[in-house]
Structure formats: structure tokens, C-alpha cells
Amino acid sequence: MKVQECVVVNEVVRHDPHGRRVWDEIIVPAGVKQALVNQALLSLLVRPGSTFVSTALHGMCTLHGPPGTGKTTLARGLPEQLAGFVAGRAVRLIEINPHGLMSAEHGQSQQRVDELLGDYVPSLAADGMPTVVVLDEVESMAVARSAASLAANPADVHRATDAVLTALDRNAVQHPHLFVVATSNFTEALDEAFLSRSDAAILVPLPDPAGLHAIVRSTLAALGDKYPPLGRLAEHPKLEAITAEAVGLDGRRTRKAVFQALARDLATVLDPGLLTLDSLAETLKDAAGLEAQGARDAAL
């Protein structure tokens, strides 16, 4: 795979105060979104014109937490939140899928990482426009070298991680208009030197009961545009107590559980408006039970 193929998104996001924002649909604890916006803005506004020696800022933030909590979607939605604050009211979004960089051929992973992060990405942002670079599931390219398995060719693992660190250091000095958002489901798998280069690490946790209620409510409300009874179900006074039974589910699985409830019966498949609160409650409880059992099995 050519390194160019690892860039899955390269687009300019312009400020649109009236546009529908994906960002708004992600439900996370209060403070998570603002912390990410503040860190990115601080980096993009302060680093240009300052020296790396004086700031020690690498222009990188790590979003970490369990799968399905919205980390990648938050990273993708960040440019539209920043665009209203920067010159030109536009921010470039570059999203990287790093999995194709790793190669079984000796030395190839290091070469590809260096070419992608050190050369190709900066060339895409050579016009100086503020740019958010999303490195999704970054643990695949910044493996903890201290834990590298001998069976996994640790020499190449070390070289690839070294290439990531070198590129981050070089870009921090030469390209202060770049801001990297790395996402990780397993921070214990990340190299310590990589984590030390992150200007901030923001935890995106599993939703709490209030978050679960908001997620289910928003899913039902969105469906309510087409199926009005679901919109009314979203406002049911017992919905909050029902969603509290889903503690342990991530945001993605919580939304999917609503559709699993619809799929339980052919009648609700054909007419989703027939969904009952009892059916939804049973589905959420079952999903949470399966998640808890899976966690117990994994711990054994």
C-alpha cells in the first residue's frame, strides 16, 4: 500500500454557524469537548510565532478510552469547532488510517511512517492553513517498545515507533499549523515517549446514566421525525430509569440497542412506531448483561 492511500480524508472545513454538526450528536461528559477545543486552539494560536524551545508544545492531543465512546467522531468534528476562531475561518482535516503502514518486510514500516508523517502530510498542508491531523487507533504505529514481543520483530517495531517520534518532533518545529489528534483504545499499548509528546491526554469514558439517557433519547427523537410515536417515547417520564439499566454499554452499543429492540419483532420492523417501553427496557438490560458477562470472561 502506498502511503497516500493511508490518508482517507483530506478536506477543508469552513465555518458554518447554521450547519448541522456531527460534533453535537456525540454525547460525552461535560468538559471533554471544551478541553479538546481549548487545547487545539491554544496550540494553533500560540505556537505560530513562538519557538518550540519556549513552548515545548508538540501540537498533539491524545483521546483515550474504551471503544465506542466517540473519540474518532470528536476528532473528525474538531475542525468545524475551530474554524470560527482562526484566520480565514477554515481548517483542513486530514484523517489517517495507520494500519496499512505496518509491513512484514524489514525496515518498510519505518520508511512508510517517515514518508507519511514527515513528508506527505506536511505537503498536504503546505499552504499554512490550520490543519487537524487525525491518527486513529494510533497504538498500531506507536507500539510500546518496552513490551514488544520477540515474535513480532521488535527491531522493526522500534524503528517504526522511532519514525513516529522523529516526525512529531520535526513537525512540532517546522509546521506549527498542524495539530494532531491521536485516538487510542489501549493507552497501555502506546509507547511512553509517544505519550510524553502529547500536550494533553483526554479521557473519553463510558457514558454515565445521564449520558445513556441522552443517547437513547436523541436516537429515538431522530427516528421520531419519521415515526412520531418514537418521538413521544423519547419524552416518556420512565425512559431515564430504563436507560439506567444499561450502565456498562458504550455510546455506540447503546444506540444500536435501540435498533435491536426494533428488530426483536417483525411488527416493529415493519412499523417502528409500535416499539414499546417494555421492549426497549428488556433489550437494554440484555445488552448490558452480555457486556458485563464479556468483561467477566475477559478477566478470567
Inter-residue contact 65 to 205 (CB < 8 Å): yes
The topology under which CATH files domain 3-203 is Rossmann fold (3.40.50)
| 74, 23 Cβ separation under 8 angstroms | yes
Pairing mode, if any, of strands 7-14 and 90-96? antiparallel
pLDDT digits (tens, 9 = 90+) for 254-285: 999 999 999 999 999 999 999 999 999 999 99
User: Which residues, including other chains, have CB under 8 Å from residue 115's CB and lie 6 or more apart?
Assistant: 3
> What pLDDT is stored for residue 155 in this prediction?
56
Assess contact for 96 and 138: CB atoms under 8 A. Answer: no
143-191, pLDDT tens digit by residue?
A: 776 665 544 555 566 788 888 999 999 999 999 999 999 999 988 888 8
Q: What percent of the chain has pLDDT over 70?
A: 90
One-letter amino acid at 235 equals E
DSSP single-letter state for residue 148:
-
Confidence of residue 60 (pLDDT cuts 50, 70, 90): very high
Spatial CA neighbour of 40 closest among 271, 199, 231, 211: 199
Cell of 133: 491531523
Strands 200-203 and 7-14, bridge-based pairing: unpaired
**CA-based end-to-end distance of the chain:** 38
Domain boundaries, the chain: 3-203, 209-299
DSSP for 3-45, written as a single string: GGGGEEEEEEEE--TTS--HHHH----TTHHHHHHHHHHHHHH
pLDDT attached to residue 153: 52
Query: Which pLDDT belongs to residue 158?
Result: 73
Grid coordinates belonging to 71: 473519540
- Which pTM does this prediction carry? 0.88
- Distance CA(6)–CA(3), nearest Å, equals 5
- 244 CB-contact burial (10 Å; exposed 0-12 / middle 13-18 / buried 19+): middle
Strand-pair partners of 182: 62, 135
